[in-house]
């Protein structure tokens, strides 16, 4: 596994002519954020040795090298989900490669169902913490020597970046929520009882991604910042039907706000 990580990093490095320190993973319906990036080079996942390939509707599947907010960045347009059948090692492989490419800060976005009763569709939630409710931990098995056997998760989401996001959102007059993201394996959306359970567990939003990548990023010492776009609501008195199309539509509508904050954060951090 470690050899494959190094091999892939070496392959990508030989094609890179800049050295980004910041990476972005774009989630469901947020691929258009990629339009904000001044692209210098793109590599389809299919061309990268040892990389998995995305399948789900709405995910393009390429690495983008370019600039955002005047900073060099590496963006993953399309991510790997556990529900697609990938192992946790595959889902998080790109984050391990990022480490070898010199990335020290990772921004992640996702679409999520709001379990906090005060949330509304279209809200932007800064992830302050997470609950890993997936069936496996990506660090399961022999420790990959990019980090410690027992990594600390006390500040999985970087407090300074959270403060920065708050400050920028306030300057721009954009409302943001703070909340705990619960990760489930998917692919079905939750039953009303499950939404209620996640709320009782301490979750404010629930989704099917992000947590594996953050666990691995923290293992290798990359600091993380995450945005959830609240695309649907669950666990309320009235049962709401959720479709992938509704989720994509709500995420699309929130994109400009997320992009505005993220661009500025990258520029200032
Ligand atoms: N549950 C899980 N994943 C999701 C949801 C949800 O309600 N909305 C968007 N992704």
How far is ligand 1, taken at its centre, from the CA of residue 101, in Å? 31
Query: Where do the structural domains in the chain lie, given as residue ranges?
Result: 2-268
Least confident of 25-29, 102-106, 249-253: 25-29
Instruction: Label the pairing between strands 177-183 and 205-207.
Output: parallel
CATH fold group of domain 2-268? Rossmann fold (3.40.50)
| Nearest CA-CA partner of 186 in 23, 28, 33 | 28
CA of 112 to the centre of ligand 1 (A): 4
Overall pTM surpassing 0.85 (yes/no): yes
233-265 tens-digit pLDDT: 987 767 778 888 888 888 888 888 998 999 999
Nearest-atom number in ligand 1 for the CA of 113 is: 7
Q: For the purposes of burial, counting CB atoms within 10 Å of the CB of 135, is it exposed (0-12), middle (13-18) or buried (19 or more)?
A: exposed
- DSSP-derived secondary structure letter, 33: G
Q: What is the 50 CA–ligand 1 centroid distance (Å)? A: 29
Ligand 1 binding pocket includes 190 (Cβ within 6 Å): yes
Say if residue 195's pLDDT is above 60. Answer: yes
Q: Which residue has the tokens 């070898």?
A: 100
pLDDT at 99: 98
| Residue-wise pLDDT tens digits, 3-12 | 999 999 999 9
Paired sense of beta strands 205-207 and 105-114, if any: antiparallel
Compute, in angstroms, the gap from residue 92 CA to the centroid of ligand 1: 20
User: Ligand 1: does its nearest atom lie under 6 Å from the Cβ of 208?
Assistant: yes
Atom from ligand 1 closest to the CA of residue 234: 7
């Amino acid at each position: 596994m470690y050899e494959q990580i190094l091999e892939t990093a070496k392959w990508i490095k030989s094609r890179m002519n800049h050295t980004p320190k910041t990476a972005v993973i774009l989630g469901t319906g947020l691929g258009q954020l990629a339009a904000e990036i001044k692209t210098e080079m793109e590599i389809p996942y299919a061309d990268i040795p040892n990389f998995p390939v995305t399948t789900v509707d709405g995910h393009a599947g390429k690495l983008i090298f370019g600039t955002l907010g005047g900073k060099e960045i590496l963006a993953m347009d399309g991510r790997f989900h556990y529900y697609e059948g990938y192992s946790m090692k595959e889902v998080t492989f790109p984050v391990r490669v990022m480490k070898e490419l010199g990335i020290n800060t990772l921004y992640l976005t996702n679409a999520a169902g709001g379990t906090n009763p005060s949330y509304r569709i279209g809200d932007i939630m800064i992830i302050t913490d997470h609950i890993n409710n997936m069936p496996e931990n990506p660090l399961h098995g022999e420790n990959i020597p990019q980090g410690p056997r027992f990594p600390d998760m006390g500040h999985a989401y970087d407090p300074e970046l959270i403060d920065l996001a708050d400050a920028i959102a306030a300057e721009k007059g954009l409302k943001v929520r703070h909340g705990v993201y619960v990760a489930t394996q998917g692919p079905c959306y939750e039953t009303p009882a499950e939404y209620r359970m996640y709320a009782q567990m301490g979750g404010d939003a629930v989704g099917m991604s992000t947590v594996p990548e953050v666990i691995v990023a923290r293992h290798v010492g990359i600091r993380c910042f995450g945005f959830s776009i609240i695309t649907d609501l669950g666990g309320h008195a009235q049962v709401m039907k959720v479709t992938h199309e509704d989720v994509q539509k709500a995420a699309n509508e929130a994109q400009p706000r997320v992009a505005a904050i993220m661009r500025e954060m990258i520029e200032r951090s």
